[in-house]
Amino acid sequence: MIWILLILCFLLLLFLIIIFTRLSIRVSYFHHNDNDDLNIEFRIWFGLIKFKKHIPLIKIDDNSPSIVVKTKKKKDHSSEKTSDTGVHQITSDDVTTNFKNVKDILEHVIQMHVIIRKFFKKISVKQFEWHTLFGVGDAAITGVLCGGLWTIKGGITGLLSNYFKLKEMPVLTVTPHFQATVIQTQVSCIFQFRIGHAIFAGLKLIKFWKGGRPKLKSNTNLSKEKTKSV
């Protein structure tokens, strides 16, 4: 009996530790002309346990002027398809049913958005840096496009501050290059949240999706119900 209590206490303690553990996600993305590179690192307990993932998105072949991309081919041995044409009548009841279906879908999307946004508010952005070197070879066009880049970066930063908790001011730079055509950008950010918040948000989404999926009515079902009532 004592051993069972000790095991239960240990499992409870382990569960509490996992719930209150903070997970840090460091994302680093680098783009230069035709090359992309993405690094993702997960850390818990001040880096005592960490996992790194390096994702080279696109690679230029050194032996030939070509791009090396991994692809998967899926063969489809489907039979020949036949299509039937006909005349369909759309009644006012069909329009009402379609509007009701759209309304139900929008309500469920809004409720799901509320759950996700509450979880996002638990996420802290410890660092966000975005540096860009840009040029098209023409000084006037480069200046105009760099102004557009500043607008885009400002809008994305505003979305981050609206959905997440920014712990530090974002560092944004746009450096114009007037003599050459170049596109180089580097983004690095650190997200941090408690694992328990992610678990609870996932459970809420599962419960919501299983018990609250909208029951959409088709026009054929509506016509069948009318026939039965008659």
Residue 219: name the closest of 85, 99, 84 by CA: 99
pTM: 0.65
Instruction: Collect all residues with Cβ–Cβ distance below 8 Å to 79 and sequence separation of at least 6.
Output: none
Domains in the chain, number: 1
Q: Which two tokens stand for residue 31?
A: 């783009």
142 in a structural domain: yes
Q: What is the pLDDT of residue 190?
A: 92
25 in a structural domain: yes
Residue 114: name the closest of 19, 207, 201 by CA: 201
Q: Which two tokens stand for residue 163?
A: 């959905």
Q: What is the pLDDT of residue 92?
A: 59
How many degrees, rounded to 5, is the angle at CA 82 between CA 76 and CA 84?
A: 145
Please name every residue paired with 172 in a beta bridge, in sequence order, or none if there are none: 130
Residues of the domain holding 107: 21-62+92-219
| Mean pLDDT per 10-residue segment, the chain (230 residues) | 84 87 91 84 86 74 49 41 48 60 65 82 91 89 90 91 89 89 91 90 80 54 47
193 in a structural domain: yes
Q: What is the pLDDT of residue 102?
A: 65
131 in a structural domain: yes
135 in a structural domain: yes
225 in a structural domain: no
